[in-house]
Structure 1
Amino acid sequence: MRYVLIPVALLALPVSAHAETADDQTIVVTGQGLDRTAEDGIYGVQAIARDRIAGAASGRLEDVLASAAGFQQFRRSDSRSANPSAQGVTFRGLGGNASSRTLILLDGVPQADPFFGYIPFSGIAPERLSRVLVTRGGGSGAFGAGAVAGTIEMVSAGADELDLLNASVLVNDRGESELSATLAPELGQGFAVLSGRWDRGQGFWTTPVAQRVAASARARYDSWSAGLRAVAPLTDTVELQVRGLAYDDQRTLRFAGADTATRGQDASVRLVGRGAWQFDALAYVQARDFSNIVISSTSFRKTLHQRRTPATGIGGKLELRPPVGGGHEVRLGADWRSMTGRTQEEAYSGVTGLVTARRRAGGRNTDLGLYLEDSWTLDALTLTGGVRADRWTIRDGSFTEANAAGTTTINNIFADRAGWDVSWRGGARVQAAAGVALRAAAYTSLRQPTLNELYRPFAVFPVTTRANAALRNEELLGFEAGVDLAPVDGVTLNLTAFDNKVKNAIANVTIGTNLRERRNVDAVHSRGVELAASARLGTVRFDGALALTDAEVQASGASLALDGKRPAQVAKLAASATVAWMPRDGWLLSATLRHIGAQYEDDLETDLQPSATTLDAVIRVPLSPRFTVVLRGENLTDETIVTRNQGGSIDLGTPRTVWAGLSVSIGR
């Protein structure tokens, strides 16, 4: 019940206000944050526009983000067939386990689960977005803690980008369905956006034919999400933005009864001021839950029931931009996050089916950040610099276990920890000639271990991974240099060379047969090159991305066996290319070729996942001003995509899937 009540008070706020200023000047309501600053060009920010977001063949957010060079999830599965707790995001091979090392924001609000650190992809529908901004490398700035591999900022679409009503229904060749609708009325000088989406299906076989048994099951999924967003002017320069989101996602993984569920309810309030003293004030609350049933791969009985993992995220920020003039853009502010969660689970005998142990684990992490940044434009030269101080705490950590009779057998209460960390970033960009810009940047950043990494052990057959309450913060030091070319109108080329090192990187380290533990290794050091290309030539559009990544673990002592090895799940090569033809308004014919190189399942480079190349396509053909036929094809060549390989036990990714449907739009 608490999940339903959290956003109600926030969403009851008014959605319209003054229609005009005192001098009859029309108010412009954007529904977005403050304008971007000159630092974007220095850090090579890549924008994914709405037309590209709408062209994803799977209709999934992770497919949209995969067009950014170097984007990587821990596994190759998407949010229909992956374990949600494995859906962390990183760039530049700076992984080590499934936690996100990329900060992901939606309208300024961090999206990572407060307990696990995964991203709830199924709760964020791409059709609700206006654009996505991708920054690779560490960051200070607002909510900068956690951005050791980069930042992904998602901006919701407003009424100016949406018709009054948009709706679509699609069905694929397995009888699965996708239903989506958005209502975006203008209310006074503001607007509201009410949206909903429902995805369900029997799923595909993730288990290869040769490994299927009577208990094997398709990757069934059933998920829905609903959102309400309201924007209104309070004065001629101050805008109120209120947002609420609720979602529920049910999946079955590999065996019948191996059911996973995630639920979430988020609410936020934001005030944006665009006067002489610009400001961005934000407050948010997140209520999340996760449950999971583990089925034995030998007895096919339930061996673990992670009944609940209630987690709460609370936070906010205040940023000011004073009118200093002289070509300076100054940002100063503070942000705060609190993440609380506790897992409740029972272990069962794979023989008798009786409870053998009851476990509880969790704690609370907080981070208070203070930051200052200045971007200074001097004709063709732009300089930027920023510093951030973080006061972090790790508190109330515990792990308890009781036997079937209720007698406590383990009662670990972990000492509280706290500290200050300072991070910085800076760089320069020079317009060397017409259509040629050179840039360079250096930065540091930090990431706290998640509550999951600190306190929750887990098993993925046949491997058990222990938690580690003594984990230290990860610390990034990175450098990069690049060139941006615009040789002719509509054509851009961006090349970046980078050298990033994450000290105290948290990895799942093998310490025995089928036994791992989360540990800090000395570092994960990654060097590489990223290339992005874009061309708009009449009715034809091309977008391409390439990432060459040479990442290695630097380890000593008890983790020496990992030294010089590639981090788990990191490929050396990843590339994508999309060609789209839009002969007239509403028409779209596009094809995307994507390749990901071979990568190792584990830290010791024992089990290999081979490379995979896939072909996707999207066709949109208007039948009338209101109705459009939609055809989508995923993995049209039916490439075998190995998403897990543990000792020869294999899971597979999305096979060839063809969708067909109809969309309808009603203008204002």
Structure 2
Amino acid sequence: MTAICAVDAAAQEEEPAEADPPVEERVILVTGTGLPPSPASPAYDTLELDREQLVSTGSGRIEDALSSVAGFQQFRRSDSRSSNPSAQGATLRSLGGNATSRALVLLDGVPMADPFFGFIPFSAIAPERLSNVVVTRGGGSGPFGAGALAGTIELNSADLEMLGSYGGHLYLNDRGETETAAHLAGSLGEGFGVVSGRWDRGNGFFTTPEAQRVDASARAEYDSWSVQARGVAPVSDTIELQARGLVYDDRRTLRFEGADSSSSGQDASLRLVGRGEWQFDALAYVQARNFTNIVVSSSQFVAVLDQRNTPSTGLGGKFEIRPPTGANNVLRLGIDYRRSEGELYETAISAFTGAVNERRNAGGTNSDLGIFIEDDLVLGQLTLTAGARIDRYTIRDGFYTARNAAGVVLLDETYPNRAGWADSFRGGALFDAGGGLKLRTAAYTGLRLPTLNELYRPFVVFPVTTNANAALANERLEGIEAGFDFSPSDAVSFSVIAFDNRVKEAIANVTLDAVTRERQNIDGIHARGVEANAGLDFGLIRFDGSIAYTDAEAKQAGASFDGNRPSQTPAWVGGATLSYRIGDTGRVAATVRHIGKQFEDDLESDLLPAVTTLDAYVQLPLSRDLSFVMRGENLTDEEIVTRNQGGSIDLGTPRTIWFGVKLGR
């Protein structure tokens, strides 16, 4: 309070009135993010990709940016322009073996896996909309932990400050393909809103080698678009509401004329984040997805299977609360729920007459309710963490029906409902030894339910048919790891981690004969390896590198594949990017990536050779808000074999040069 000076009473002057105290200006900080990561997060194998790394790849695809984390992989080496969407499962640490995601992929806290298939709609996730990505390799509990068998990939949207009020780009490549993106952002009261869109289209390249092409061979044509709207607004000084809507459509042609697929979706989510003394994160979401696919015979070159409709719905949410437990302790308590429902409608067609052989309908419903607790405690140089989770899962309403062209039932099966409880745990320790050296170790278990696709939908990559299996059991993970981080300054970081992960009851595509496989639970997948990351940032020059070696084996006593590497899993994966900054917005970067040899199938009969590629990115400022951009994919034009079934081969992206302009930041 302002002091009042004494006055001379004899002067009998009126005492001046005391001035009102200044009114403090209310400051509300709106971030658009979730709660901060726990102090024990570094105890696990965690790596962050910043915005610069996300938006300056040779291809402009999010899956390309994620590939800079050694150990990340999709089922096949091709990206979301030249692969079937259902093959785009994300996994880590060579724990693959089929096309389903074994890693949990979150966008602003929302699981992005397709409710029916489990694949990730990478074409709908535009890197320019993101601020960063945090990848945790290794299983874990916590929110939606039932999907984090191999790890967690957290995608976080950019805010108004990072995006600027407008931006976009227009790129053209040497095949006449285009990539277009734009966004508008602005303040909404004390919050902000962003509307963004992206459209990628092109005639593609021939995935079939020239020597194997026929008149029916087609380029990998693609046409995909997505629109996202996001708003963030304060509810009070410490609580903010986040809303996001995403609509996308993706159409592709693979190998033959008429072999068309589509993937579409409409997602919506609401999130309430409280940053007061009692922190909390409440999330609800709904997803409507669909998939279609036409299989063309590789001998008659006519449609033999029309997977004409696969509607699915995902809905769920979570609530997490962090009570005030002191500056050196973070306690997380929460509950989450996810429900996936879907069914397929497909028609089998005779390759010789064009007549309908069968009409099939199959589907079901999976659900998971999880309760979790995790506590992090900082004791000086030592940080300890421990978490537990229990899941109540259900697999129900499963069915498969086949009818002939006249509608007569040929097969009508319903499968018994199943339910159960599953627990999972994780714990770790981080010790700060000083001088930038931190030692860490962790152990964990994990859980993954089979997807509706694995349970009920057979699929064909002609001439091989892979049958579904309604009796599949849950996958279970047990893992340990230990390593160190060394960062003597802000400019230097280095980390090494050794791990031993085992997936019990692993779901694999098991070969039955030359043209038939079946999804089966095998004894397990055992993956042991070492991962190393390095980062150097000396102002204008920056180096980022990551490498992983994994000794992975599929285990099944007495089986012909016992001891073999899981299909599609290389032993060596690595990459490095060297970049040079030009002013505030300019950048020149070159990226080298290596993928070791891998096998198409569990019997190791068809080899996919090792490949090393070189990509480049150049951004040259023309004015404060406008830049000229050039990108290069596979500049040495290496032959990337993505599929090999008995000598029938598909290839990945050849040398491709992009150029265009970029507006905004």
Displacement of 1:167 after TM fit?
A: 1.3
The superposition leaves residues 524-556 of structure 1 with CA deviations (integer Å, 9 ceiling, x where unpaired) of 000000000001012000000000000001102
| Paired residues of 2:295 and 2:462 also in contact (CA < 8 A) | no
The superposition leaves residues 566-612 of structure 1 with CA deviations (integer Å, 9 ceiling, x where unpaired) of 00000000010000000311110000000000000000000000001
> Is 1:616 matched up with 2:582?
no
Distance 2:596 2:65 in 1: 19
The aligned runs of 1:107-122 (5 Å cut-off) are: 107-122=108-123
2:160 counterpart SS class: coil
| Paired residues of 2:296 and 2:462 also in contact (CA < 8 A) | no
Distance 2:327 2:607 in 1: 56
2:289 counterpart SS class: strand
| Paired residues of 2:285 and 2:315 also in contact (CA < 8 A) | yes
| Paired residues of 2:582 and 2:620 also in contact (CA < 8 A) | no
Distance 1:326 1:344 in 2: 55
Distance 1:224 1:181 in 2: 12
2:159 counterpart SS class: coil
The superposition leaves residues 44-97 of structure 1 with CA deviations (integer Å, 9 ceiling, x where unpaired) of 311100011111110101001001121111100000000000000111111120
Distance 1:524 1:90 in 2: 13
Distance 1:63 1:76 in 2: 10
Partner residue in 2 for 1:656: 655
Displacement of 1:23 after TM fit?
A: 4.8
2:45 counterpart SS class: coil
Equivalent AA in structure 1 for residue 303 of structure 2: K
Equivalent AA in structure 1 for residue 287 of structure 2: Q
1:89 counterpart SS class: coil
The superposition leaves residues 596-639 of structure 1 with CA deviations (integer Å, 9 ceiling, x where unpaired) of 00000000000000001000000000111121000000000000
Partner residue in 1 for 2:390: 389
Equivalent AA in structure 2 for residue 634 of structure 1: E
Displacement of 1:187 after TM fit?
A: 1.5
| Paired residues of 2:45 and 2:138 also in contact (CA < 8 A) | no
Distance 2:367 2:560 in 1: 34
Partner residue in 1 for 2:95: 94
Partner residue in 2 for 1:515: 516
> Is 1:48 matched up with 2:45?
no
Equivalent AA in structure 1 for residue 473 of structure 2: R
Distance 1:513 1:633 in 2: 39
Partner residue in 1 for 2:484: 483
Distance 2:177 2:249 in 1: 17
Distance 1:435 1:39 in 2: 16
Partner residue in 1 for 2:257: 256
Partner residue in 2 for 1:626: 625
Equivalent AA in structure 1 for residue 274 of structure 2: G
| Paired residues of 2:297 and 2:463 also in contact (CA < 8 A) | no
Displacement of 1:487 after TM fit?
A: 2.8
1:161 counterpart SS class: helix
Distance 1:477 1:44 in 2: 15
Equivalent AA in structure 2 for residue 220 of structure 1: E
Partner residue in 1 for 2:10: none
Equivalent AA in structure 1 for residue 615 of structure 2: D
Distance 1:257 1:95 in 2: 30
Partner residue in 2 for 1:275: 276
Equivalent AA in structure 1 for residue 616 of structure 2: A
The aligned runs of 1:133-532 (5 Å cut-off) are: 133-325=134-326, 327-532=328-533
Partner residue in 2 for 1:554: 555
The superposition leaves residues 315-346 of structure 1 with CA deviations (integer Å, 9 ceiling, x where unpaired) of 00000000011611000000000000000000
Displacement of 1:264 after TM fit?
A: 0.3
Segments ≥4 residues shifted beyond 2 Å:
22-25
Distance 1:539 1:186 in 2: 33
Equivalent AA in structure 2 for residue 323 of structure 1: P
Partner residue in 2 for 1:595: 594
Equivalent AA in structure 1 for residue 112 of structure 2: Q
Equivalent AA in structure 2 for residue 621 of structure 1: L
Distance 2:183 2:503 in 1: 41
Partner residue in 2 for 1:129: 130
| Structure 1 stretch displaced more, 568-577 or 509-518 | 509-518
Partner residue in 2 for 1:567: 566
The superposition leaves residues 209-256 of structure 1 with CA deviations (integer Å, 9 ceiling, x where unpaired) of 000000000000000000000000010000000000000000000000
Distance 1:257 1:553 in 2: 36
The superposition leaves residues 389-444 of structure 1 with CA deviations (integer Å, 9 ceiling, x where unpaired) of 00000000000000111100000100000000000000100001211000000000
Q: Which runs of 5+ in 1 are unaligned?
A: 1-21
Displacement of 1:25 after TM fit?
A: 2.4
- Rg (Cα) greater in structure: 2
Distance 2:540 2:645 in 1: 47
2:324 counterpart SS class: coil
Distance 1:606 1:653 in 2: 20
2:64 counterpart SS class: helix
2:594 counterpart SS class: strand
State percent identity of aligned pairs.
60
Displacement of 1:665 after TM fit?
A: 2.0
Equivalent AA in structure 1 for residue 650 of structure 2: D
Distance 2:578 2:337 in 1: 42
2:147 counterpart SS class: coil
Partner residue in 1 for 2:582: 583
Equivalent AA in structure 1 for residue 91 of structure 2: T
1:72 counterpart SS class: coil
Partner residue in 2 for 1:14: none
Displacement of 1:104 after TM fit?
A: 0.2
2:390 counterpart SS class: strand
Equivalent AA in structure 2 for residue 136 of structure 1: R
Displacement of 1:24 after TM fit?
A: 2.6
Distance 2:563 2:543 in 1: 38
2:163 counterpart SS class: coil
Distance 2:625 2:329 in 1: 47
| Paired residues of 2:179 and 2:201 also in contact (CA < 8 A) | yes
| Structure 1 stretch displaced more, 482-491 or 369-378 | 482-491
- Give the aligned CA root-mean-square deviation in angstroms: 0.9
1:391 counterpart SS class: strand
Partner residue in 1 for 2:640: 641
TM-score (norm 1): 0.96
Residue correspondences, number: 643
Distance 1:88 1:131 in 2: 21
Equivalent AA in structure 2 for residue 613 of structure 1: T
Distance 1:39 1:353 in 2: 61
1:73 counterpart SS class: coil
1:160 counterpart SS class: helix
2:636 counterpart SS class: coil
Distance 1:648 1:201 in 2: 28
Equivalent AA in structure 2 for residue 495 of structure 1: V
1:486 counterpart SS class: strand
Distance 1:512 1:650 in 2: 20
| Paired residues of 2:320 and 2:333 also in contact (CA < 8 A) | yes
Displacement of 1:500 after TM fit?
A: 0.1
1:41 counterpart SS class: helix
